Structure 1
């Protein structure tokens, strides 16, 4: 694509035309190949403008910058190079990427999922429902990315716009007609999803998290709400909102330009769950919908998954699935890695790995565990830790949540990152102590998992919370291989 044609699709402050052909788009100078456009933008921790010379040395054919100083220096040193000065670097990245990759988002019906908890499971469920009726999909989320059936790694919950558009382009080439994306609050605020037209937007819930980045719950909520306002595009055609959640109710009250579908367990919900029954490995409920009443059975467990199933069902209905197709897809839904994932055991102890890493998610997880052990008189043993370099205020809250619902708490390290693991544990321990519940502290996560499982007796349920599907542990200067499921399975094998 010609550089001058790319310029026509960007909002520029200044620009220098050039007849050069653009082969690709990059925002990381290390990935630049000859003929690429390099977009230099300022970020939270790094300034891409520092790497303009490196990108040109790699063969960049044109440069977009959000720095007037960098633009002027570029024009003086490389006067013949295609260049543009823009106000918003990330918007320019999205606009240029869309142009170069041929606007693949126009060929996909996009469903976006946001909220604190439940994004991943809801996205997996919706993609599964769409695939069950023969539609090819692109799925972008926390655990993994799917491109028309091909599974790829997911480095971030929501990638940069350039990478999203490339995935969409790959999907369109493979025959995809649908896309399902988890949209994090960071991505919405940073406009990594700029210019993506959303057909169906889903809001799961909002509880305290990421205040290290957003500062306040109101700012956190405002970031999530951007999905329903449109990020460089008109608002979604249809909004699927959990109105049992206080923030969801607020969001729904302000939606004017989208068709609103409420879901939950309250009487005014359009997709409503009734007569809920839960067992380990199975959930049943009656679902009332605008299309009629359906009996839903799913191998997913727990009240939180009732909400996830309602959200996915409402979105699937909005995408044209019939009620009987939704019922069949729900029954065939597979376990999502790291979301109430049961580790096989033969000694009468149930071991579950879950991603719960907020106090609300931990409380919901423990409540479910308590319901499952009630009939057999077992105990709930909860192992958890708190992430480093993240919202510190939730640490004692997570401690209280664990202590209030558990018979025994094992407090350990999660992903300490640059922080001292023992200091993080001390902050969470303060919350556990308020409850008076017995607590064991063990900084080494592998040893802590062994302690928790070996402390369990027949009929007990051990929750290993916080990391879920993750395969590494982030330490001060490195990431080391670590898999909660594999470690727990190893301990169970030793016990026999």
Structure 2
């Protein structure tokens, strides 16, 4: 970390009121008053319910020596700027000696596929002999033990600290998810990306973005000169084609529908054992066999391979690593307790994901597809009814349950999803509020040859009701339900 003072930072940010007054040393930056450390600059931002300045006393008790905010405070010397979010990323990058310049940063953005693509890039880097770190909504991993992620893309000060740690660990590269929230809220400002990847774009997060154009603009902001050296763009949707036409950095395209793309995915086949496809590109015709499940993983693997090619990585070695990756947590993750039906946990939480998921599930069985699903609270309300409708159009049994209501009414969330499912008039629809009970109900109703999928939460280890977080893992709950049924009916009879 850089040795600096409150006065130096104030001067850097243009607040002349503190330039001649404060010599206190700064040893860190924190956006959370609860975790502020002695010598920290506490960054007090405006939130959805509270302003960080309200917690200045707590930050001071924990040792913070100054505040950065858009409001003044009598608690500690305060550097006041018009938009602290906008300056925080570059400030934190400067404070940590610009760590992204010491790393090859692969940033993955898009509606679906970010997590899987980041994992695939990481697997390819490692197989090619590149020491890499990983920043996803699942985990943050460098050398040593990984830690659970708090959000898809860390807050600006946390991100720069993570990147600095990776640089200090002498890692050479990092694969990371870049959410639209992170881009709109400047969390990645101050981070330089060697390769930016755009997977796709479909309706999501319209509780945060005003409309699809605003959502697209947030994503597209990653691919600007000075911020990103090169772009890898999926062109199977209108937004990808738009980005490919508008981008001002060198770009590489990938597609499953356009044979003219730089990396064309052909002959995709997905079964219970994995996914195979042929990749046609300047390197030749490359056969790829993934251990990951689902047709959509061919898209993600193509994105990863194209990104590694753009980053100058040895592609044959990278493909070998990509083919050996056997799990992305919570992404069509099988749970097997010897039951005579397929049981999976998946993160699918929007209609675009459903359109890819359910045909694959249907291909696995001549029996029924049983889905447990719901809608997360405080998210785009306009997608709840379509989620239920699409699920019921493609599944045989839809069990609507709670995900994480947050401060929304759980009953209303269930009813909006269930109403859409009933509107389809093509599946049995039921509501079971308790998620563990809903999962047990799905398992109890399954017969040999069926497919059960627990959808919507994937790897998420907690449920959130208001201010209360309760440990809950769909994978563990599904495993428990399967074991319970086996203990009652060890023969797994077909009577349900």
Contact 2:117 2:301 in 1 (8 A): yes
* Distance change in 2, residues 1:101/1:278 (3 Å): same
Does 1:16 find its partner at 2:19? yes
CA-CA distance at 1:193 after TM superposition? 0.8
Equivalent residue number for residue 263 of structure 2: 271
CA-CA distance at 1:13 after TM superposition? 6.7
CA-CA distance at 1:5 after TM superposition? 4.1
Contact 1:117 1:205 in 2 (8 A): yes
CA-CA distance at 1:57 after TM superposition? 4.7
- Equivalent residues in 2 for 1:362-441, closer than 5 Å: 362-373=354-365, 377-436=366-425, 437-441=427-431
Match of 1:310 among 302, 311, 314: 302
- Cα distance in 2 for residues equivalent to 1:47 and 1:439: 42
Equivalent residue number for residue 322 of structure 2: 330
SS at match of 1:429: helix
- Cα distance in 1 for residues equivalent to 2:305 and 2:144: 21
Residues 194-237 of structure 1 deviation map (CA, whole Å, 9 limit, x = unaligned): 1111111111111111111113111111111111136xxx1411
Equivalent residue number for residue 168 of structure 2: 173
Match of 1:262 among 247, 253, 258: 253
Match of 2:146 among 147, 151, 154: 151
Contact 2:11 2:19 in 1 (8 A): no
Over aligned residue pairs, what C-alpha RMSD do you find?
1.9
* Distance change in 2, residues 1:351/1:93 (3 Å): same
- Cα distance in 1 for residues equivalent to 2:114 and 2:451: 25
Contact 1:369 1:461 in 2 (8 A): yes
- Equivalent residues in 2 for 1:16-55, closer than 5 Å: 16-17=19-20, 18-55=22-59
TM score, norm. by length of structure 1: 0.92
Equivalent residue number for residue 445 of structure 2: 455
- Cα distance in 1 for residues equivalent to 2:16 and 2:384: 45
SS at match of 2:330: coil
- Equivalent residues in 2 for 1:342-361, closer than 5 Å: 342-361=334-353
Q: Which runs of 5+ in 2 are unaligned?
A: 487-496
Q: Which runs of 5+ in 1 are unaligned?
A: none
- Cα distance in 2 for residues equivalent to 1:408 and 1:309: 31
SS at match of 1:31: coil
Contact 1:470 1:483 in 2 (8 A): yes
- Cα distance in 1 for residues equivalent to 2:52 and 2:170: 35
* Distance change in 2, residues 1:94/1:493 (3 Å): same
- Cα distance in 2 for residues equivalent to 1:11 and 1:150: 40
Residues 442-468 of structure 1 deviation map (CA, whole Å, 9 limit, x = unaligned): 111111111111211111111110111
Residues 73-128 of structure 1 deviation map (CA, whole Å, 9 limit, x = unaligned): 65xx87xx5x5332220233223322332222221111111111110000011011
CA-CA distance at 1:368 after TM superposition? 0.9
Equivalent residue number for residue 60 of structure 1: 64
